[in-house]
Amino acid sequence: MKQWKPPAENLPNIIEKLVEGTFLPHFFQLINITEYGEKLREMPVTLFVPVEDTLDLISSKELQILEKALKDESLATKIVENHIIQQPVPLREMLDIREIQTIGGKKLSVNVRCGIREDFEFSVSQGCYVEAEIGGLHLETANIVCYNGFIHTIRGIII
């Protein structure tokens, strides 16, 4: 993978972007009770962030773990680390990757598929589609560019 160079000095860092976005508030709370509340301001990373309606998508067991993590810094750290890749990885680079490891040591399968819509005749750029799964979770939004890396939103949480 390529060495990360910030695309612009005036971009928000990952924490600033999380503050201004509509992501799962519980996940942001988890980050803030760990050391990553500060580290994610500078550390060059890729962060997989659960979308806002994740609580409707996860099992009751996962919800219990998430609620417990809000009161347990070591469990919160483990969950947050399962969402961080130690370097910025845009979706384009994930086309050639089958597995990626989080800083927590969790190995996530990567499945990115690109295709051309057969019902679209106007231009190739508008007729392409991308489907992606990270660790079996649907990637909702890719390549939210920050000063120190990327945020990709996922439909679920990596426990």
Domain containing 81: what range? 14-154
Q: What is the CATH number of the domain that holds 109?
A: 2.30.180.10
Asked if residue 108 is part of any domain, the answer here is yes
Asked if residue 4 is part of any domain, the answer here is no
- pLDDT tens for 99-128 read 999 999 999 999 998 776 555 554 444 556
Asked if residue 6 is part of any domain, the answer here is no
How many domains in the chain? 1
- Location of structure tokens 């503050």: 19
Asked if residue 28 is part of any domain, the answer here is yes
Under the banding of pLDDT at 50, 70 and 90, the label for residue 1 is: low
Q: What's the pTM?
A: 0.87
